[in-house]
Chains A and B, each alone.
Chain A
Amino acid sequence: MPDEILAPEQIQKKVFPLCLRTKDLKNPASLATYLSIGGYQAITKILKEQISPQQLIDEIKLSGLRGRGGAGFPTGLKWSFMPKDIKGDKYIVCNSDEGEPGTFKDRDIIRYNPHQIIEGMLIGAYIMGANRGYNYIHGEIWQEYLSFHEATREARKAGYLGNKILKSDFNFDLHAVHGYGAYICGEETALIESIEGKKGQPRFKPPFPATHGIYGRPTNVNNTETYASIPWIINHGGQAFSDLGVANAGGTKIFSVSGHVNKPGNYEIEMGMPFSELLELAGGVWKGRELKAVIPGGPSTALVPAESIMQATMDYDGLAKIGSSLGAGSLIVMDQTTCMVQTLKRLSYFFYEESCGQCTPCREGTGWVYRVIKRIVDGQGRSEDLALLKDVSNKISGRTICALGDAAAVPVLSFIKHFENEFQYFIQHKKSMMGQQNA
């Protein structure tokens, strides 16, 4: 808990570009730039010194790196699940299918530092014995897909990808895959289906991808930021990475700040920074207004009202304490004039549109929820609607094949929990409590 508000210069010191470290250089995405800051040293060292995978996994475990895609599963542990005794093809996949409103960190990593992802994946492939990798880039970003493809070409030409990498016995090739813009394909098994050329729909688990992934082969899927963090850990040691963050949350994290702030953008900072300092970095709430609420990790994480978030630190435990989670680190900041009912309408429309339609609760429930909220916004709300919304959301949650059902329920429940009065006002008066400016 911060005792005092730090001066801006002091806050700046906690900014630590690790995944985005080439951002301010000239030609940031090029191989030459990456090599100039010590790129590909980690994999070179590993191959040269024949460091054992187990040793590397121990190092990653020590670093406290947790999956940056949202679930926050310890990466070292996840990598150790990859079966070692199965012969034949194994795959690793980089999940750059960030599709939730307010997420844009992976895009910047690909845009500014693609080679660090490649090196991270090389190390991952070495550790997990994979011979083939894919970077699944989401449908809406075409330029980044092309530039990542270009980066793999450059790396292949320089001998970092392909057969006998750096004259060792290690073979690994990596391909960029362009998605078609389905949010659901960010779910790892739907992503695997999509890579196989099928319709993106999550698979029932078990079996997990670690044993039955792409084409039924062992597969590991990790977030872009996770992979991009790996080379630094190998170069500087797990302890150094862990020291950057706080307990239970090692390293740095990119926060994509959007919404009602003066300087929206990606901020890569050490884990555990108080929210107030991050808000300061992003230039504070715009137009001199008061903060109303924040969605701290993307719409699938619970909304937090201003008074709680101002007391929170930006790490897994810090946000869990106030009933939300870190998610992908996509903050949506809302000022005092925001109408929560209309915001929720927009968010539930997203989940309604993006449900894959495979299993019943999500397919039917997301449409139901959206229509009820839309009806409220249209001035047709009924007194029993809030209870209905809560009940329907609770019935979607936990009963679907993948986590999208849970994700769709989270905003509904958290919005109504914290701003029930606003919803009731809208139902009674058939207009927003916030007046007309946002209607």
Chain B
Amino acid sequence: MPKIKIDGKSVEVESKKTIIQVADELGIDIPRFCYHEKLSVAANCRMCLVQVKNIGKPLPACATQVMDGMEISTKSKFTKDAQQSVMEFLLINHPLDCPICDQGGECDLQDTAVAYGASQTRYTEEKRVVINKNIGPLISTDLTRCIQCTRCVRFLKEVGGMQELGLIGRGEHAEISAYVDKAVESELSGNIIDLCPVGALTSKPFRYTARTWELDRRPTISLHDSLGSNLEMHVKNDTVMRSLPRQNESINECWISDRDRFAYQGLEHDDRLLEPMIKKGKQWITVDWQEALEFSAKKIKESLKKDGNHSLGLLYSAQTSMEEAYLLNDLADQLGTPYVDYRLGQNNFDTKGMWLGCEPDEIDELDQAIIIGSTLRLEQPLLTQRFRRMVNHGGELTLINALDFDPLINLREKIICAPSDYQKILLNIIRSIYELDKKKISHPDIVKLIKKIPADKNNTRWVKKLLTTNKRCGIFIGQNALESYYANNIVFLANYLAEITGSFVGSLMNYPNGVGLDFAYNKREFLDISMMSQRDFSSFLCFNMEPDIDIKTNLPLHAKINQSKFKLAITPYMSDSFKDFDCVLPMSVYSESSGTFINIARHVQSVKAVKKSKGNSRPGWKILRVLGNYLGLEDFNYESSEDVLTKIIHPKKRLIFPKLTTKKLEAKFTQTPKDIEWLKLTRPEDSDMIVRRAQSLHARDHRIDDVIRAHPTTQAKLKQKFYEVQQKGSKTKLSIIPDDKVAPNTLCFYEGLNSKKEKKVTTQDKTKARAYD
């Protein structure tokens, strides 16, 4: 290990480290603009120039590796001179109008200028002006302020996976630009706002709404994907003004997805339900809490008395906290109904105990990964970035999906097939292993199955790699595989493949608190959605969900809710979804309530409210607790959400998570080529009630047509030109357009789009429908 001297202090440091890394570790401040620990080194801003003994020129600390015997001075006059001169150069063309800049008060350039800049400029010539570019609804550009550090360029290329911005032009004419007429489309694009050290890239929705010093910063987590990214919500006048990432290396590092960043716009949406309401005749009447709760309790009790305990159904979303879910389940138990579930999108309920299978940062270092049935960037934007890094580190990724949705990763192999064929692909791999070593495969059912299919010689070399014991391999099962009818078979086979190759199985399911709810209730004998869709209810409770949109299963569950006589919703938003309901109770959104969530990697995260509940809304757990009182239930006297939590998670005991379990392999392989399968996709901005209402995320919705896409060969086989599908709760006719990105025999469409009526197919439709992929 090299020994160096930095500011007169002798230290021993790891070799290959750069001066700036060593200085950061020692707490020595070196100013910088272009350097960022997560990005490649550009060494172009020259702000971090430092003196190294016996070298005539100052060296950039970000790009200079320490060497034995180096003597570095970060405070000497030589260093100061160099840094001050760079500061002067940076400021000559930078507008000196911080009071009108949105970055003012939280600007690296401003802060550094206070320390290194002169109080007066020597530059009296004209300043450079750069025309702003429109790069989309999320990021505002003020390119005259740009100091060409290229952090945004490097982020989009290295982390985002596609170089959507570049530095065009030479010399003083150099400017950041997107491709002609293109916006930045990365699902991680908002991070360049944080990365920009000046006010050149700012948040369009937040711009000019608040000053940094007016904002209270409160920690929370994001509930829009199952990663549970750590957020810091900035609050002014009891309103969330923006969300920024909170660094957590084991979860989201220092990034968040655009969905996490701009979802806050939905929190204050006009749709928020602010008072309890009861339907009288066909009119909604605003009532007080007491009346609403008495009414609801009375109706529920009546129906239970009349139609028996099993006549009550309860559904809640996977965004529900552990505490709320506990109360809901306890309520169901005490009332004696087994019908309570949260798996609103699934069609098969046989697998339990699924989680990511490893820590998120372990993905970075995998040697092999197989992903089955996931449109990665749509569902898990930040985990996708981990897989991208894994491939950049030399790992190999194989993607099996029903839609050729570019993950912006160099794949080892891409297999596009209908969802029912995922099982066959897995069998194929197992078959190749069988060819190499017959003893490996002993499961009689599987042996029987693989003998029926021919061996795929192309797999051999790769399969050998899978079998190498010192390689770490993960088999990840994505959203559309887990939601499909074949989920049990897919997980069973993946698990078997994992066993024989010494790898592990992980889930990429995008249920925000899915792992937590599975942990708490997978042993419970509740009757799942498939049972619920087979019987009639006389009263129904929907918690934290819009039933017509959030129920994505193909099972006829939504109809069952509509048929029940008394429908109660506990919901943060009022919408058409509840037009047939009898009572709606206003619930706080997650930023206004405390709660505990377990993310996909089994991190337990408890958060507090970042602001007061809006209007007369109340945190979900409080509503359930009081409703329980009105229903006369026992033990419903909790003082706080922490009280509730002790019922599920003992603060002193280690959590013991359930093992992955599946049911037996079933003979669900009989798919004839004639069959048509559905691939329902959800755009990230449609995934829950809150993001559906975040305007900026929807600013470019018109780009996507509400159509069904099918492989040209499939489309040619189909007799009809339209299909009727459930779109936002109502039946909608969608036209079918050809797209070779979709697997054969598969019909693919985005759920939750604002549907237009029947529409003639034009040549442009294909590109428009693809605009998202």
Contacts and interface: CB of A to CB of B under 8 A. Distances in A.
B88 interface: yes
Interface stretch (A8-16, A166-174, A354-362): A354-362
B172 A363 contact: yes
A358 B153 CA distance: 13
A364 interface: yes
B86 A360 contact: yes
A351 to B, nearest CB: 9
A169 to B, nearest CB: 31
Interface in A363-409: 363-368, 371-372, 375, 388, 395, 398-401
Contact of B171 (A366, A372, A395): A366
Given A368-B123, A399-B46, A401-B43, A357 B169 contact: yes
B89 A365 contact: yes
Nearest to A182: B170
B170 A364 contact: no
A365 B42 CA distance: 19
A18 B43 CA distance: 42
A194 B545 CA distance: 55
Contact of A371 (B46, B57, B125): B125
Question: Range of interface residues on chain B?
Answer: 35 or more
B655 interface: no
Contact of B174 (A354, A363, A372): A363
B41 interface: yes
A388 B122 CA distance: 8
A306 to B, nearest CB: 31
Nearest to A384: B122
B171 A368 contact: no
A204 interface: yes
Contact of A399 (B58, B168, B169): B58
B415 interface: no
B82 interface: yes
The majority secondary structure among interface residues of chain A is: helix
Interface in B455-469: none
Contacts of B45: 359-360
B44 A360 contact: yes
A353 B46 CA distance: 20
Given A204-B63, A352-B171, A357 B46 contact: no
Interface in B44-69: 44-47, 49, 56-58, 60, 63
A184 interface: yes
Contacts of A367: 93, 128, 171-172
B85 A395 contact: yes
A361 B60 contact: no
A199 interface: yes
B147 interface: yes
B174 A357 contact: yes
Given A204-B41, A359-B44, A360-B89, A398 B56 contact: yes
A395 B172 contact: no
Interface string B179-211: 000000000000000000000000000000000
A360 B90 CA distance: 7
Contacts of B604: none
Given A204-B43, A359-B46, A360-B147, A399 B85 contact: yes
B555 interface: no
Interface string A199-228: 100001000000000000000000000000
Interface in B586-604: none
A358 B149 CA distance: 8
Contact of A364 (B60, B90, B169): B90
A187 to B, nearest CB: 13
A388 B92 CA distance: 14
Contact of B89 (A204, A371, A395): A395
B446 interface: no
Interface string B144-160: 00011000000000000
Contacts of A400: 46
Contact of A355 (B42, B122, B166, B172): B172
B86 A361 contact: yes
B65 to A, nearest CB: 8
A360 B46 contact: yes
B30 interface: no
B634 interface: no
A399 B41 CA distance: 17
A401 to B, nearest CB: 6
Contact of B43 (A357, A359, A368, A371): A359
A365 to B, nearest CB: 6
Given A204-B41, A355-B170, A356-B170, A361 B46 contact: yes
A362 B90 CA distance: 11
Contact of A363 (B49, B60, B63, B148): B148
A184 B167 CA distance: 16
Given A357-B170, A398-B57, A401-B44, A375 B125 contact: yes
A407 to B, nearest CB: 14
Interface in B509-547: none
A361 B58 CA distance: 13
A199 B57 CA distance: 27
Nearest to A394: B85
Nearest to A374: B125
- Which of A356, A363, A401 has most B Cβ within 10 Å? A363
A361 B85 contact: yes
- Which of A182, A184, A352, A371 has most B Cβ within 10 Å? A371
Contacts of B41: 204
- Which of A199, A358, A388 has most B Cβ within 10 Å? A358
A199 B163 CA distance: 13
Contacts of A358: 44, 148, 167, 174
A34 B433 CA distance: 63
A199 B165 CA distance: 13
Contacts of B37: none
B97 interface: no
B173 interface: yes
B126 interface: yes
Contacts of B123: 368
Contacts of B82: 399
Contacts of A371: 125-126
Contacts of A375: 125
Contacts of B86: 360-361, 399
Contacts of B125: 368, 371-372, 375
Nearest to A203: B43
A369 B128 CA distance: 14
A413 to B, nearest CB: 15
A116 B228 CA distance: 66
Nearest to B47: A360
A355 B173 CA distance: 10
Contacts of B126: 371
A389 B144 CA distance: 25
A352 B128 CA distance: 13
Nearest to A382: B124
Contacts of B49: 399
Contacts of A182: 170
B608 to A, nearest CB: 44
A372 B173 CA distance: 18
Contacts of B172: 352, 355, 357, 363-364, 366-367
Given A356-B170, A358-B148, A399-B86, 4 more contacts: A199-B166, A367-B93, A368-B125, A401-B44
23 contacts: A199-B167, A204-B41, A353-B170, A354-B170, A356-B171, A358-B148, A358-B174, A360-B45, A360-B86, A360-B90, A361-B46, A361-B85, A361-B86, A364-B89, A364-B93, A366-B172, A371-B125, A375-B125, A395-B88, A395-B89, A398-B57, A399-B49, A399-B58
> 5 nearest interchain CB pairs?
A357-B174, A355-B171, A395-B85, A371-B125, A364-B89
Interface of B: 41-47, 49, 56-58, 60, 63, 82, 85-86, 88-90, 92-93, 122-123, 125-126, 128, 147-148, 166-174
Interface of A: 182, 184, 199, 204, 352-368, 371-372, 375, 388, 395, 398-401
